[in-house]
Amino acid sequence: MASPSLLDGIDAIVFDLDGTLIDSEKAICAAASLAFRDVGLSVDEAAVADHLGAPLDELYSVFVADADHQRRSHFVSRYLHHHDEHPECDPPPLPGVSAGLSALKARGLLLAVATTKPTSRAAQQLRACGLFSLFGHVQGTDPPMKPKPAKDVVIAALAVLQTAPSRAMMVGDTARDVGAARNAGTRAVVVAYGPHRLILAAKLGADHVLPSLALLV
């Protein structure tokens, strides 16, 4: 069981989706690499993995130094096509996630998701992996919201849960999630799966770094 101080004073927890709750890295990296190929650029999956959590427009800008909006739109369209064709387009929960969320909900905590994905796509993936019913709200980055590390999705989720940021925690796996937590005024927790990611996570400036979501309970 985690230290009693970890959830002390917390009424609600807002979770990132990809890499925090669901094992979506393979589908995202493969789809992005193929979409870059479709716009004439070679970007391997490992390079994409270094930018998980970035919106598609921003991911494109990391590797393509042009202002060709038609080419950018084509990249996004091809990414969505390749992602939805991937055998893991509806990825499973990461280890410990289902049990951890169920235990947190049983403790009376309010749970929400705040993700860079559009709300509709996030909700569909949560339904597919059996997690949707555990959340009081699913908030995607829908226009005109700014993506993390902006606070928009976190604040929107907490508004639905009717919880003040000072009584909330943001749980994610990237610097973007920590930034969103800081900008929203919540506590910041990083969940990092595997030794290499734990080393990287220690440098993100979160209040706590955990090797499993189950350790929140």
Catalytic residues: 16, 18
- 146 with 47: CB under 8 angstroms? no
CA angle 19, 161, 187 (to 5 degrees): 55
The two tokens of residue 214 are 């189950």
Largest pairwise CA distance in the chain: 53
Of 167, 58, 59, 53, give the one whose Cα is nearest residue 114. Answer: 53
Of 166, 187, 167, 147, give the one whose Cα is nearest residue 59. Answer: 147
How far is Cα 138 from Cα 140, in angstroms, rounded to an integer? 7
How far is Cα 55 from Cα 173, in angstroms, rounded to an integer? 15
